[in-house]
């Protein structure tokens, strides 16, 4: 296997492990709430703690990806991720679990951003969207594996101390990534672009680096570099990401409890995450094969998500209520790769741009799961939470429509 191929596969392998640890606990809502003596608002906080820490880790990710090889950063982040994933299963109280989920989230958020940056550096053009789509798909695939495996593990280890073997299997899933990163050959291809005249992301080629004061404008004339934090395309991508990842995380956190409340048996929650996996892959493939543009995928994905979540909040026959979560999940999954790709291509500081997007999206993910759980505690249903997600996607859709020309550019 060539060094470039190994470096391309490593973030994908890490994403499976990361997705498992993020979502596996959500597969056993009744068992965990009973064991820890918590309500659904607290249950949602376990997601919020991890994703809140994702936000806090982004300034570090932005700084280090501007100066270091992403392959080197991934090795250290994976090691910390494995240690903490095992530690999460050894705690015996809700406060301890909440704190440790937050500590793990610092590493998980760093790992997510660095992996996406590595893929952006190894690919150019529409291939970037395809790779980011696959990356997101494998993240949700790890969650789907967790939804299938965790209930059986909890039943087997009901008498063990701690929360049970919920997170530790994610450490085993990280082993392929370690193997792929074991050799340092080719690491230079994952360093930040430097020099002048190359397209950012081209393998082994020079390009404008983080200290460059100007970028080439129309006709080759230099123009002042726009700060990543105020770059309009990065900000638009971040705003859309708030809607799609907030919706994805909230639905993933409560989909098992949602189907349990409906009295529906079977692994439907795992199926919903499989749909997310297919959606992220399909969105990336559609752009790479030139069926659609990044802007079109983002536009129609947010539009469909808005309709899907508003419908979930409406009083509908049970057959439709059961079918709508996969539809809504597909809608919010399609734009994943496109959002990452347009942000990474918007500025030579690809790592910083992706860190802004990840941070913004996870700010929404801090609030929404806990708020949805609290609404469920008060009302006994998820309608208020779903309506809020629908409204958020409507706002994202308006932003995409208004600034569509800039997004295409």
Indicate the pairing of strand 222-224 with strand 214-216: antiparallel
In total, the chain counts a number of residues equal to 409
pLDDT computed for residue 11 by the predictor: 92
Chain-centre distance for alpha carbon 101 = 16
Which residues have a Cβ under 8 Å from the Cβ of 313 and sit 6 or more positions away?
382, 383, 384, 386, 387, 390
pLDDT score for 302: 92
Residue 359: the pLDDT is 83
- In three-state secondary structure terms, 390 is helix
| Assigned token pair, 216 | 């080439």
Query: For residue 346, what pLDDT is reported?
Result: 79
What is the pLDDT at residue 223? 36
- Count Cβ neighbours within 10 Å for each residue of 279-312 and write b for 16 or more, e otherwise: bbbbbbbbbbeeebbbbbbbbbbbbbbbbbbbbb
Q: Let me know if 114 is exposed, middle or buried by CB neighbors in 10 A (0-12, 13-18, 19+).
A: buried
Domain 3-191+227-408: homologous superfamily in CATH: MFS general substrate transporter like domains (1.20.1250.20)
Q: Are 51 and 281 in contact (CB under 8 A)?
A: no
pLDDT of res. 120 = 84
Report the pLDDT value the prediction gives residue 197, as an integer from 0 to 100: 36
Predicted pLDDT of residue 196: 39
Please report the pLDDT score of residue 108 as a whole number.
92
Tokens of 397: 């859709």
pLDDT tens, per residue, the chain with 409 residues: 677 788 889 999 999 999 999 888 888 877 778 878 888 778 878 877 887 888 888 889 888 988 888 889 999 999 999 999 999 888 888 899 999 999 999 999 999 889 988 888 888 777 777 888 888 889 889 988 888 888 888 766 655 666 678 888 989 999 999 899 888 887 788 888 764 334 433 333 333 333 333 344 434 433 344 577 778 888 888 889 899 988 888 888 788 778 887 777 667 778 888 888 898 889 888 888 888 888 889 999 999 999 999 998 888 787 788 888 899 999 999 998 888 888 888 788 877 888 888 888 877 777 787 788 888 888 888 888 889 899 999 999 998 888 777 666 6
Q: In sequence order, which residues have a C-beta less than 8 Å from that of residue 21 and are 6 or more positions away?
A: 81, 85, 88, 104, 108, 142, 146, 167, 170
Q: Which of 108, 129, 170, 163 is nearest to 345 (CA)?
A: 129
- Give the single-character DSSP code of 222: E
pLDDT at 303: 94
Q: Return the bridge partners of 49, or none.
A: none
Query: In the prediction, which pLDDT does 165 show?
Result: 81
pTM of the model: 0.74
């Amino acid at each position: 296997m060539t060094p470039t191929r190994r470096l391309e596969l490593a973030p994908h392998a890490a994403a499976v492990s990361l997705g498992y640890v993020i979502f596996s606990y959500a597969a056993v809502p009744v068992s965990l709430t009973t064991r820890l003596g918590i309500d659904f608002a607290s249950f949602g906080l376990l997601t919020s703690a991890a994703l809140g820490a994702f936000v806090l880790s982004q300034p570090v990710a932005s700084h280090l990806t501007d100066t270091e090889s992403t392959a080197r950063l991934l090795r250290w982040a994976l090691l910390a991720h494995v240690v903490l994933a095992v530690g999460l299963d050894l705690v015996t109280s809700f406060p301890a679990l909440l704190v440790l989920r937050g500590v793990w989230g610092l590493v998980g958020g760093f790992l997510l951003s660095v992996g996406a940056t590595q893929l952006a550096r190894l690919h150019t053009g529409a291939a970037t969207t395809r790779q980011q789509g696959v990356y997101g798909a494998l993240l949700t695939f790890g969650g789907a594996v967790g939804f299938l495996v965790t209930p059986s593990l909890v039943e087997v280890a009901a008498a063990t101390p701690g929360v049970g073997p919920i997170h530790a299997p994610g450490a085993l899933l990280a082993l392929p990534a370690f193997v792929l990163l074991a050799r340092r050959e080719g690491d230079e291809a994952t360093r930040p672009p430097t020099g002048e005249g190359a397209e950012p992301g081209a393998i082994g080629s020079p390009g404008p680096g983080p200290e460059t004061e100007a970028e080439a404008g129309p006709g080759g004339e230099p123009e002042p570099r726009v700060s990543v934090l105020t770059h309009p395309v990065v900000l638009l991508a971040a705003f859309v990401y708030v809607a799609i990842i907030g919706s994805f995380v909230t639905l993933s956190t409560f989909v098992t409890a949602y189907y349990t409340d409906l009295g529906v048996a079977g692994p439907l929650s795992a199926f919903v995450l499989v749909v997310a996996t297919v959606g992220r892959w399909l969105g990336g493939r559609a752009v790479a094969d030139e069926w659609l543009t990044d802007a079109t995928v983002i536009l129609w994905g947010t539009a469909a998500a808005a309709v899907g979540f508003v419908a979930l909040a409406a009083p509908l026959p049970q057959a439709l209520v059961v079918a709508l979560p996969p539809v809504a999940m597909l809608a919010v999954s399609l734009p994943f790769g496109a959002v990452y790709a347009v942000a990474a291509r918007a500025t030579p500081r690809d790592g910083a741009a992706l860190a802004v997007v990840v941070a913004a999206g996870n700010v929404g993910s801090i609030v929404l799961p806990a708020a949805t759980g609290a609404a469920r505690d008060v009302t006994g249903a998820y309608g208020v939470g779903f309506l809020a997600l629908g409204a958020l996607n409507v706002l994202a859709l308006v932003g995409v429509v208004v600034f569509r020309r800039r997004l295409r550019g």
